[in-house]
Chain A
Amino acid sequence: MKLSTLLSKLFPPLHGWPLIGALVGVLVLCVFLFFALHALPPRARKMVIAGATFLAGLFFALEWFWPAGADGTNPLTFAVPTVGNVANVLTAFTLGLGVMSLIRIHGNNVARQKAGWENSVVLLAGMVVMAVSGLFFEKTIFFRSLFRDVLNSFDAAMFATLAFYIISAAYRAFRIKSVEATLMMIAALVVMLGMIPIGQALTSFIPERGSFLSLLRVDNISNWMLTILNAAAQRAINFGLGVGALAIALRVWLSLERGAYFESSAE
């Protein structure tokens, strides 16, 4: 019997009250597991977490490397969307973790009236108002106004101010003091000129293509630098990143990673 068929028989789709009952049962089980995990000694807890991490990683590794049959699937393929949904739920929990952390830190600031506690009040109030309006008044003008007129405007304005800082920083810091800096400056100048119409206008009298002179157009030089020089450099960087990511992934999967973040709670 196929694994997918067996699981379908063991766990048939539920609707109505049986579904609610199953959900409550799972919730109770999760709460029990949560407290059981906390009650375990640090070494045993670490082993449980390492085991769960290994199994989760093993599923994707096995599914990826297991040779596919004639229909392009292997015995684990059927479970990929479900595991993906579980991963989505787990990732959503990290958002909750972030919210809890914010409430703890800023709630503490307000309770102890630390320096700048007024800012913490604004942050907490903003978080509550946005959450409540999004959850219960999503289709109303209240939420739309908060989202579009306040949040979006603040977000866009904050990012737009970067342009001012970039202009100021480039003017103060970009000094050509070495050969490398000179090369970088020339490359940046050519690429940026090739990207903007004012730069393109400088050599617009040269035909766009079909002539040897076309190579001298600033937009063509810019494109050549991006597609040849830049692509080669990016490829080299990506190879390095790929090898590094593989090493990190293996260390995390096998729970070999060391450091404060991984060890402090377990030891």
Chain B
Amino acid sequence: MNRLHWTQTIDRRILYLVLLALVVIGLLVPIPLPLVVGPQARALYNAVQQAPEDKLALVCTNWSASTQGENRPQTEVILRHLMHRHIRFALMAFDQQSTNLARELAEELAPQYGYVYGRDWINWGYRADVNGTLKGIVLSIPDTFKTDSQNRIPLTDLAKLPVMQGVHNTKDLSIIVEISPSGVYKAWIQFVVGSTPAKFGYGPTSVMAPELYNYIDAGQMVGMMFGIKGAAEYERLLIQDGTLKKPGFTTRAIAPVSLSLVLLFVLIGLGNYGMYATRNGRKQEKGS
């Protein structure tokens, strides 16, 4: 047997242990790494930066705990940016878990920026049907959602929900950002994007980001955050403009991702090297 045959037969438990060690080291040990801000994250940042302050921003979250590693930091940087600019915003969700998770995140951030529920932000809640809801909000948001999700107050009750002042349909929105690991963006583009002057930005998980470039190319999507890396780029821009004082978990999370991918390259290289070495060894044995 070829002496390099071991490179093809490493026990999977060793691989798991190495990966675990790299992730833990990446999270605990600060590793100074350069981070280039890509054009897509910069475009989304610029769109939020230029969004009119007198209109309502809409953040649609469709992520659950399973993808919160990527989607939660994306939601956090968007909410921080909106709050820093004092833009009022609404949350909505097409995922049952997400309506709670995004609300908890907003409640956590709101006191830091003096945001008050009902005055500066609102939660429209969860809806099961994507197409019907999006077609509905194009015409009338109060008719589609009726009440807010937290206190069941009618959206037309401006005394209790001043955040809804001047908000009738999607034409009255300043910017729409969807954070999602699913294909809901297609419905947004089909039904909403053409109906409103508000720009549409997106925060997908890394695995689904490649399918979105043609929508950015077509101008239907203003920009996006490429998974956790995109969120870290956005956070970098927030640090540069003074919204954030120092890098948070999002930037720190890039190190374990980097190390894991390097491990992936090394293992693929090792497996292939072993395969070719073994094959050459066999050929030489036959030749001699």
Give me the interface of A with B, judged by CB distance under 8 Å: 60, 73, 77-78, 80-88, 90-92, 94-95, 147-148, 151-156, 158-160, 163-164, 166-168, 170-172, 174-176, 185, 189, 192, 195-201, 204, 208, 219, 223, 226-227, 230-232, 234-235, 238
Contacts and interface: CB of A to CB of B under 8 A. Distances in A.
Determine which residue in B67, B68, B216, B268 has the highest number of CB atoms from chain A within 10 A of its CB, and name it. Answer: B268
B128 A171 contact: no
A190 to B, nearest CB: 11
B178 to A, nearest CB: 18
Contact of A84 (B65, B136, B210, B229): B136
Given A91-B128, A200-B36, A85 B213 contact: no
A196 B267 contact: no
A112 B203 CA distance: 47
A91 B139 CA distance: 21
Given A85-B132, A192-B265, A234-B211, A200 B226 contact: no
Nearest to B142: A81
Nearest to A73: B139
A167 B272 contact: no
Contact of B133 (A88, A156, A160, A201): A88
A87 B132 contact: yes
B211 A174 contact: no
A88 B214 CA distance: 30
A81 B67 contact: no
Among all A-B residue pairs, the 3 with the closest Cβ atoms: A84-B132, A87-B132, A197-B33
Interface in B231-282: 254-255, 257-265, 267-268, 270-272, 275
Contact of B213 (A171, A189, A230): A230
A69 B261 CA distance: 55
Interface in B1-60: 10, 12, 15-16, 19, 23, 33-36, 38-39
Contacts of A227: 213, 216-217
Given A158-B66, A192-B265, A196-B262, 13 more contacts: A73-B139, A88-B127, A88-B133, A95-B128, A155-B66, A163-B260, A166-B264, A197-B35, A197-B254, A198-B258, A201-B33, A204-B34, A231-B217
B197 interface: no
B64 interface: yes
B69 interface: yes
Contacts of A153: 65
A91 B131 CA distance: 11
A82 B210 CA distance: 36
A171 B268 contact: yes
Given A156-B68, A160-B69, A170-B264, A80 B136 contact: yes
Interface in B114-139: 127-129, 131-133, 135-136, 138-139
A219 B127 contact: no
Contacts of A189: 265
B68 to A, nearest CB: 6
SS class, residues of chain A in contact with chain B: helix
A77 B216 CA distance: 29
Contacts of A231: 213-214, 217
Interface string B188-216: 00000000000000000010001101101
A77 B34 contact: no
A170 B129 contact: no
Contacts of B165: none
A200 B36 CA distance: 7
Contacts of A192: 261, 264-265
B144 A81 contact: yes
Contacts of B34: 197, 200-201, 204
B211 to A, nearest CB: 5
A138 to B, nearest CB: 9
B100 interface: yes
Contacts of B136: 80-81, 84-85
A80 B139 contact: yes
Contact of B254 (A78, A85, A154, A196): A196
A227 B43 CA distance: 14
B256 to A, nearest CB: 10
B265 A175 contact: no
Contacts of A77: 139
A78 B138 CA distance: 11
Contacts of A196: 229, 254, 257-258, 261-262
A173 to B, nearest CB: 9
Contact of A171 (B216, B257, B267): B267
A168 B65 contact: no
Contacts of B265: 189, 192
Nearest to A63: B135
A43 B64 CA distance: 43
A60 B226 CA distance: 34
Contacts of B214: 231-232, 234-235, 238
A171 B143 contact: no
Contacts of A156: 65-66, 68-69
Contacts of B33: 197-198, 200-201
Contact of A234 (B10, B15, B213, B226): B213
